[in-house]
């Protein structure tokens, strides 16, 4: 009997043994979809009215317009073409900062609750940039699925999850 919470939950599998050892989950994830174009899924979209949700009252029409514009652009490119383009700032999210680790943990708890999956199978988090101005730098956070699926979860309107490095003067 299938679990209704896992129906359609199709993350890229965790690390797998090879002749030379174990490939990292992150490299395996990206390599398995690198020649595909992203397809966006909203199945795990967070709508609990927090700062990182798509029903955050701070979001305005420009934010949504730019979000759809960027997704249209990304949909025309393969992941391997997107990764080196600075404008999109597409990458795996990892940080040693305590605050960022806490937010990543919250993200994974949200995904775990939505999918009913165990900790081992939780996907790695990726982000891409929507746009950057003096006041905002929205980033979309989600996880990769098979067949090039990018499962959108959060929108970080103010670049708080993975903050910009401040230059030292």
Burial of 74 (0-12, 13-18, 19+ CB in 10 A): buried
**Is 75:88 a contact under the CB 8 Å cutoff?**
no
Each residue's pLDDT tens digit, 20-62: 444 455 665 678 889 999 999 998 888 887 888 888 888 889 8
Q: What is the pLDDT of residue 46?
A: 85
Query: 51, 164, 151, 165: which is closest to 108 by C-alpha?
Result: 151
What does the block give as tokens for 106?
A: 């919250």
The residues, ordered by sequence, that sit 6+ positions from 46 with a Cβ below 8 Å of its Cβ are 52, 53, 54, 110, 153, 154
Q: What is the pLDDT of residue 29?
A: 67
The whole-model pTM stands at 0.76
State the pLDDT confidence band at 112, using cuts at 50, 70 and 90: confident
State the pLDDT confidence band at 4, using cuts at 50, 70 and 90: very low
In the predicted model, what is the mean pLDDT of the chain?
Answer: 77
**Angle at the Cα of 108 from the Cα atoms of 106 and 114, rounded to 5 degrees:** 105
What are the angstrom distances between the C-alpha of 12 and each of 49, 92, 95, 126, 144? Answer: 28, 14, 21, 13, 7
Hey, is 113 helix, strand or coil? helix
* Eight-class DSSP state of 11: B
CA dist., res. 52 & res. 62, Å (int): 17
């Amino acid at each position: 009997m299938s679990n209704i919470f896992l129906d359609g939950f199709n993350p890229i599998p965790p690390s797998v043994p090879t002749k030379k050892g174990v490939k990292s989950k992150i490299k395996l994830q990206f390599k398995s979809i690198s020649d595909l174009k992203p397809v966006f899924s909203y199945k795990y979209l967070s709508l609990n009215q927090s700062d990182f949700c798509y029903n955050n009252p701070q979001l305005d029409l420009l934010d949504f317009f730019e979000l759809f514009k960027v997704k249209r652009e990304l949909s025309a490119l393969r992941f391997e073409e997107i990764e080196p383009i600075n404008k999109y700032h597409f990458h795996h999210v990892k940080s040693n900062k305590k605050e960022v680790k806490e937010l990543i943990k919250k993200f994974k708890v949200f995904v775990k609750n939505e999918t009913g999956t165990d900790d081992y199978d939780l996907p790695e988090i990726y982000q891409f940039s929507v746009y950057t101005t003096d006041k905002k730098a929205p980033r979309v956070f989600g996880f990769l699925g098979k067949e090039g699926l990018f499962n959108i979860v959060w929108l970080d309107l103010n670049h708080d999850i993975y903050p910009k490095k401040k230059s030292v003067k």
